[in-house]
Structure 1
Amino acid sequence: MNKPLLYSFLIALVGCSTIEKKSPGAFFAGEIVNPTSEYVVLFKDDIVVDSAKLNDENRFVIQLDTVVEGLYHFDHSPELQYVYLERGDSLMIRLNTEDFDESLIFSGRGEEINNFLVEFFLSTESEPAIVYSFSQLDPVDFSRKLDSIKTIKLNTLNELVTEVNLSTKAEDMAKASIDYNYYIYKEKYPFWNMRRTRKNTLPDLPDNFYDYRNKIDYNNENLSYHRYYYNYMKTHFNNLSYMGCYTKCEDAHYNIIKNKLHFNQHKLKLIDSLVTEKDLRDNLFRNVAIDYLINVHDTDENNRIFISDFHRRSGNNRHSAEIEAIYQGVNNLQPSNKLPNISVFNTDGTLVTLQEIAEKEKNTVFYFWSGTQRSNFENVLRRVAQLSKNRPEFTFIGINCNTDALRWQSLLSTNQLDTEKQFRTDDFENLKNALVIGGLNKGIITKNGLIVDGFADLYSSF
């Protein structure tokens, strides 16, 4: 760390140690081991509050003159994590990107609530498999099991509240994490049970099974970007939509599975009727649209009906341009079309279009990978190597996303990849929308330069 930055860092840190909680500002700084980006960017909701460039020792400093108390998140591309900030906080973090969440530690004023939230997040990562194993139980026994898990977490929070002078807002945020995570499992139980018991009907639920819904606030502005609150809302509307169709349609379960248009229109209608908070409403509409357009692969006519209903109900949704781009991307990826007009870089730094690449080979499979997501990178390489051996009639073309040019070249060399079959983009957002990339398992199959399957999957389509 150079001396001027070191002095300012120490002065800020000492100053923050004497900041009273009533001070309007906050201090956020730390060290990133094995950085994957030059910057740390701080967001409130989805708005950039501030950013800082890492110095030569991979440290950063963000000093906020004023802070709106509540949940923020910091982004060190491609990863992000939450941070709860209150007036007068002086938070330091340290993390290693090779184990981003597990290595994250907060210290300083405000550390208690933030370490609790991180530990809670980590504790929930393996939890769904455990709760799923309970789902073959009847509703009463399942609820008892779930209550015991929730009680342990509430007791941990109560101990923290006793030991540390948490603000009411911080305590409420922590409790919301516990409550809404619990509610998600309750919403999922009927479907998990049907799958586990291999029955074609949903279990009969006690009248009080969903009593917690009486406490749900569909328009809590403070929780709009809270991961468990938002995930609960998505799961809840899936449940409500399914149940609405299930109770009214003959041979309901199979009709719901088959008629995805009707099911997703039902979700749009429910969100429209129950949610008025602007950010949450826009994000939920966006979630339904992306899920339908990317994953359903419906007919052109049904896609047109859905997108018309989306625009009619969501009004001035701030994601409308993105959804429209994805809709156009879906249309462009229909069989027998040429590939969208997207250019990528070859290893010489020359731009070449996807169509030009496709026309060089009779049968081509485009696949996508990121050098900043190690597990994805390794899995994709392993799968492509296997497919190249088993399906020699195809030429597999890799498109790199979210990796700078130097690191990309290094990865190609280290992994001995054929540079004639590797390309990269420096505009992933445009590529993602144009090619409707919902996940990095996606493949696009072409023959003689024309699309055969614009929505292939490396693991299920071959």
Structure 2
Amino acid sequence: MLQRNLGVLFLNKKVSFFSAIVIFNNALTALYKYNTYFCTIKYYRGIFMKLYFSAILLVLLALSSCKDTSDIKDRYAYIGGEIINPTTNYVVLFKTEAIIDTIKLDNRNRFLYKVNNLEEGLYSFRHGYEYQMILLEPKDSVLFRLNTLDFDESLVFTGKGAKKNNYLINEFLENEIEEKYIFKLCQLTPTIYQNRIDSLRSLKVKSFKSFKSRHKVSPLFEKIALANIDYDYYSSKEIYPFVHYGKDKVAILKSLPEDFYNYRKDINYNDDLSIHYYKYNKFLRYTFSNLSLIEHGIHSNDEHFNRYSLCYNLDRLKLIDSLVTNTSIKDELLYELTINYISKNKNIENNNVVLKSYLNKTKSKKGKKELTSFTNALNNLKIGSNFPDIKLINYENVEFDINSIIKSPTAISFWSHTFHKHFKDSHKKLKELEKKYPEVVFITINIDDYGLEKPKKSLKKYRFSSKNEYTFKNPKEASRALAIYPMTKVMIVDQNKKIVNNNTNIFSIKFEKQLLDLINR
């Protein structure tokens, strides 16, 4: 049966791509059922899955090389894959901010999609709250397999166009590790630091040249790969004054070698190619934070730099507005830096001033609405105010008003499947804190809108207790009312249900002192 269907698939060129896949899938399904009749399913499932994806790739590559003139004219690419532990039943494909399509997963959590009239470049796919970039060029046939419990680390591409995407994802993961090393290097003197990061950049360039010598690369891929190396290098330069232990940041800037920021004269602050690429955006955030130090130093009388200074943050928004002309880049930068300031600042008046500055500069209607709502919610959560009435559901499916269970000093933290590492790390930390501070009740709330079973399964998998664990009855409304950003946010409430701290962090060196102050009130 398999042989007969493959013969139809390859010999009859009038068979459409999707018809071919259906034929092929049916044949493989039949083979799978045949095998399971005689063999142990558990043993053969892994082998069969490899056969399935390898065969799909053969079909994709065969069809890609077909001499049909209509295929030659059309610019297209295929993208497909399998999602393990899916959080939704679909994948969303984007080009910049525009949604290309919402693609449903089949009953095996797989999908296959043809991008017609392909505009080559960086795309992104989103599943749940997680997303990742993918480079698509004409005639690519890229499949991937990922596990949502370890999203980036589990992502592997296969097929035509896979090598360049595996290169990019591996480079992304390596850079996450390198960042910690860079932070340590920042304590070195400027000249030694510059020599070290110059060496790191040289190694990356050498690695890319080695990749290029072994694989044929397109001009577009080469441009992106080299831009990655450059933006990592530039970001390392821009963070130096902030991470260096000295408190007088202006003095640190003056101590740098004259050529330290020479690359700035060639920077394009409105790069359409990199507009939605995380490394470019990260670099821009660091750059504008750094450039604003100079302006801030001119009219600041602060003895030590305070990154939450109202003056400094207004200077930063003003500088972005003056240098960035690309509306999308400007709106994203303004939004990220504004919400970061407002979420961590305790002064309501200053928050309102920064919000007003943001609203006057951005063109994003969505951003204006979201940040206005976020700021208003934070203002309602000021220290000393009553904790809002929020409905919770425990893992026995019993509904509670959160204030009915706050009867002693309480720390309220949040988690999401989107931030899997935070989920594991925070629960381990909470275990330690519960033993150390029995006077405090630690309430933990899953903010996802997946129902009870998925978070319950996650807790069980890692052997975390479901005691004092809840989900929101209305996740979107509750998350908005509690202004949950960033995910590390923890709220401290006293026995009288009064807010003591509306945004702290269990990993902060100050957190345990805050708990002791609460206990001793």
- Do the structures match in fold with TM over 0.5? yes
CA RMSD after TM alignment? 3.1
Answering whether residue 464 of structure 2 is matched by residue 445 of structure 1, we say no
CA contact 1:135–1:196 (8 Å) conserved in 2:
no
What is the letter of the counterpart of residue 216 of structure 1? I
Task: Give the drift of 1:210.
Answer: 0.8
Deviations 1:240-280 (A, max 9, x none): 1122222443455x1x3176111110111001001111111
Tell me how far apart the structure 2 counterparts of residues 352 and 94 of structure 1 sit (CA, whole Å): 39
Task: Give the drift of 1:90.
Answer: 0.9
Task: Give the drift of 1:370.
Answer: 3.0
CA contact 1:339–1:451 (8 Å) conserved in 2:
yes
Deviations 1:117-154 (A, max 9, x none): 11211221221233334334443332222222212222
Answering whether residue 367 of structure 2 is matched by residue 309 of structure 1, we say no
Which residue among 288, 291, 316 is the counterpart of 2:340? 291
Tell me how far apart the structure 2 counterparts of residues 236 and 405 of structure 1 sit (CA, whole Å): 43
Residue equivalent to 2:320: 271
Which shows bigger deviation, 284-293 or 451-460? 451-460
What is the letter of the counterpart of residue 346 of structure 1? N
Answering whether residue 72 of structure 2 is matched by residue 53 of structure 1, we say no
Task: Give the drift of 1:323.
Answer: 0.6
Which residue among 446, 450, 454 is the counterpart of 1:400? 446
Answering whether residue 470 of structure 2 is matched by residue 423 of structure 1, we say yes
Task: Give the drift of 1:348.
Answer: 4.9
Structure 2 spans left out of the alignment, 5+ residues: 1-20, 28-54, 516-521
What is the letter of the counterpart of residue 83 of structure 2? I
Task: Give the drift of 1:202.
Answer: 4.5
Task: Give the drift of 1:455.
Answer: 1.7
Residue equivalent to 2:140: 89
| SS of residue matched to 2:313 | helix
Task: Give the drift of 1:390.
Answer: 3.5
CA contact 2:391–2:474 (8 Å) conserved in 1:
no
Residue equivalent to 1:6: 25
Structure 1 length normalisation: TM-score?
A: 0.87
CA contact 1:194–1:202 (8 Å) conserved in 2:
no
Task: Give the drift of 1:295.
Answer: 1.4
CA contact 1:289–1:310 (8 Å) conserved in 2:
yes
Tell me how far apart the structure 2 counterparts of residues 433 and 347 of structure 1 sit (CA, whole Å): 23
CA contact 1:73–1:80 (8 Å) conserved in 2:
yes
Tell me how far apart the structure 2 counterparts of residues 293 and 197 of structure 1 sit (CA, whole Å): 24
Q: 1:134/1:89 Cα in 2 relative to 1: closer, same or farther (>3 Å)?
A: same
- Percentage identity across paired residues of the two chains: 31
Tell me how far apart the structure 1 counterparts of residues 197 and 286 of structure 2 sit (CA, whole Å): 17
Q: 1:138/1:363 Cα in 2 relative to 1: closer, same or farther (>3 Å)?
A: closer
Deviations 1:19-72 (A, max 9, x none): 867632210012234444433322222333223333343322122222222111
Q: 1:240/1:54 Cα in 2 relative to 1: closer, same or farther (>3 Å)?
A: same
Q: 1:208/1:95 Cα in 2 relative to 1: closer, same or farther (>3 Å)?
A: same
Q: 1:159/1:427 Cα in 2 relative to 1: closer, same or farther (>3 Å)?
A: farther
CA contact 2:307–2:313 (8 Å) conserved in 1:
no
Answering whether residue 410 of structure 2 is matched by residue 364 of structure 1, we say yes
Which shows bigger deviation, 116-125 or 139-148? 139-148
Which shows bigger deviation, 144-153 or 383-392? 383-392
Tell me how far apart the structure 2 counterparts of residues 412 and 293 of structure 1 sit (CA, whole Å): 32
What is the letter of the counterpart of residue 393 of structure 1? E
Which shows bigger deviation, 280-289 or 68-77? 68-77
Q: 1:147/1:225 Cα in 2 relative to 1: closer, same or farther (>3 Å)?
A: same
CA contact 1:335–1:453 (8 Å) conserved in 2:
yes
What is the letter of the counterpart of residue 257 of structure 1? N
| SS of residue matched to 2:442 | strand
CA contact 1:66–1:87 (8 Å) conserved in 2:
no
Residue equivalent to 1:141: 192
Q: 1:172/1:41 Cα in 2 relative to 1: closer, same or farther (>3 Å)?
A: same
Residue equivalent to 1:63: 114
What is the letter of the counterpart of residue 336 of structure 1? G
Task: Give the drift of 1:187.
Answer: 0.9
Answering whether residue 120 of structure 2 is matched by residue 106 of structure 1, we say no
Which residue among 260, 263, 275 is the counterpart of 1:224? 275
Tell me how far apart the structure 2 counterparts of residues 427 and 14 of structure 1 sit (CA, whole Å): 49
Answering whether residue 505 of structure 2 is matched by residue 457 of structure 1, we say yes
Which shows bigger deviation, 208-217 or 196-205? 196-205
Structure 2 length normalisation: TM-score?
A: 0.78
CA contact 2:121–2:135 (8 Å) conserved in 1:
yes
| SS of residue matched to 2:234 | helix
Tell me how far apart the structure 2 counterparts of residues 62 and 426 of structure 1 sit (CA, whole Å): 35
Tell me how far apart the structure 2 counterparts of residues 244 and 388 of structure 1 sit (CA, whole Å): 46
Tell me how far apart the structure 1 counterparts of residues 420 and 336 of structure 2 sit (CA, whole Å): 26
Residue equivalent to 2:431: 385
Tell me how far apart the structure 1 counterparts of residues 429 and 420 of structure 2 sit (CA, whole Å): 14
- The aligned length equals 455
Which shows bigger deviation, 407-416 or 278-287? 407-416
Answering whether residue 238 of structure 2 is matched by residue 187 of structure 1, we say yes
| SS of residue matched to 2:280 | helix
CA contact 2:414–2:487 (8 Å) conserved in 1:
yes
Which shows bigger deviation, 284-293 or 46-55? 46-55
Residue equivalent to 2:9: none
CA contact 2:488–2:505 (8 Å) conserved in 1:
yes
CA contact 2:250–2:294 (8 Å) conserved in 1:
no
Residue equivalent to 1:432: 479
